Amino acid sequence: MRTRLVLHSARLLDPGTGAFLPETALAVSDDGRISALGDDREIRALAGPASTVVDLKGAVVTPGFVDGHLHPVTGAELTHGLDLSYCADLDDVREALAREVRNLDRGQWLFGWGLDPNVFGDRPVGIAPFDAVLDGIPAFLLLFDAHSALASRRALELAGVDGPRTFDQASAEVVCDADGRPTGLLQEDAACELVERVAPRPTREESRERLAETLRGMAAAGLTGGHAMDANGDSLALYGELDAAGELPLRLRVAPWCQPGTDADGVRALIEQQGLGGELWRVAGVKLFMDGTIDNGTAWLERPDCHGESTHAFWPDPEAYTRIIGELHRAGVPTATHAIGDAAVRHVLDSVEKARAGGDGGGAVRHRVEHIETVPDDTLRRFAELGVLASMQPTHCCDFTRADHTDNWSRRLGEERAARAWRCRDLSESGATVVLGSDWPIAPFPPLGVMAGARHRRPSRDLGQAPHGPEQALTPLEALRGITTAAAYAAGEEHEAGRLAMGYRADLTALAADPLTTPSTDLPDVPVRLTTVSGRVTFRAADL
């Protein structure tokens, strides 16, 4: 078999042991797998006329970085709006909106994203502080958690939203004042869709190019793959088009959603959809939601938050969720469930335990819980006991909470539960497999930043601030495994991905420095030198 790629003058880092391999070069065959490891001279000799040969000049090569939780298509669309994530208070938001309004044509919509509810301080979250600047402007401002949004008065008018609504999603809500008038706050996907459906949408060509550009950026950041937690809209078709054109630079594992109200036919359709895909993407698993978010009062907690909110599940009947988990398990379909609050996490674990007791699917079906923002001690051990993976996004703790618990998330929970924030270390030490990701566009996707956050737990914009729960920090090796070996295991691919070994896929990331010895605060700035997927170069530094 011919050689597709030769990398030499490299330091090959094995995340299994945390040590460098004795070899300094590797070759990749036409099937996209590592076909040889050795010294520079013997591996260079394997190159043919059509081979790509790269002198890595001492760069560190690891198995390719995989983001365990992201939303590529949704993110590509959302991040073309106004970035409000840098706004620290209401004045910042008003100024940003005013600048954007000056550039709008008459009747044009304003889209924003990344709005932090902490900008409201002790005021209720609503559109009122921005009424003057958005007078007559249809605007849709997504809060940072992407589970809630603010709609301007004009946007609500265009959508015909003038009072409360009832939804299948139990925690979805058009928030209204005491007189029944909408405040502009829309909770959860079903409520947000009321306004989104009347807003202008990008053309198919615009969506395709935005996605392609986003994925190229991810490859340049060192990502070789991602677990895409939705198949909304044209997502699958767009992945298929890019893949067929040779323009898909990441290997994507896609989990379509199963929402409350899904009937037996809907569940069968999700099962039949498994395995659909192309060379670099496939449908593998189903994404469900057990609750919303703590910041907007839609999580499911065992005790209410300080506002008396976050008291119920996303599913009006949580047992309907349990039945569907059982059906999917028996069909051999892995699930990934969004569960943030302690009651939500507990119910997911209970449901998986019941499904496993029912047999059929067996231990080969790897179920996951996504986010796990606060859990009590008695929940930790159950992840390992049930073989449930813990999918964590440590940068959410870094950038959306504070060590002194003065942030909205911590205030809502109170000291006891805020002290149990993102228990990455406790979950790892209890035997759980901890998969790391960004949840982009909720947080930035560069994987070096995700690993750094797992280690330092400090705000990315001000690393001089105190860490939130430093005792929950991961070691450098644990953080590296979280985006390499753990991601491979979560996908059931540990026998062909996540290692630098003969026969393994040549999804590779090369860095200018050793990620295990680089200080956590410096790690995000380490240059990515090369990224390959199946031995095809998806990013290459200009001087290589």
Tokens, residue 49: 């006329």
3-state secondary structure of 5: strand
Per-residue pLDDT tens, the chain, 544 aa: give them: 899 999 999 999 999 999 999 999 999 999 999 999 999 999 999 999 999 999 999 999 999 999 999 999 999 988 888 999 889 899 999 999 999 999 999 999 999 999 988 899 889 999 999 999 999 999 999 998 888 999 999 999 999 999 999 888 888 999 999 999 999 999 998 999 999 999 998 999 999 999 999 999 999 999 999 999 999 889 999 999 999 999 999 999 999 999 999 999 999 999 999 999 999 999 999 999 999 999 989 999 999 999 999 999 999 999 999 999 999 999 999 999 999 999 999 999 999 999 999 877 656 899 999 999 999 999 999 999 999 999 999 999 999 999 999 999 999 999 999 999 999 999 999 999 999 999 999 999 999 999 999 999 999 888 999 999 999 999 999 999 999 999 999 999 999 999 999 999 999 999 999 999 999 999 999 999 999 999 999 999 999 9
Q: What is the pLDDT of residue 79?
A: 87
End-to-end CA distance of the chain: 26
Q: What is the pLDDT of residue 363?
A: 63
| Range 153-187 burial, b when 16+ CB lie within 10 A, else e | bbbbeebebeeeeebebbbbbbbbeeeeebbbbbb
Those residues whose C-beta lies under 8 Å from the C-beta of residue 382, and which sit 6 or more positions away, are 349, 353, 388
Which of 72, 105, 111 lies closest to 201 in space, CA to CA? 111
Domains of the chain: 81-197 (3.10.310.70), 204-496 (3.20.20.140)
CA-to-CA distance for 541 and 539, rounded, in angstroms? 7
Q: What is the pLDDT of residue 362?
A: 58
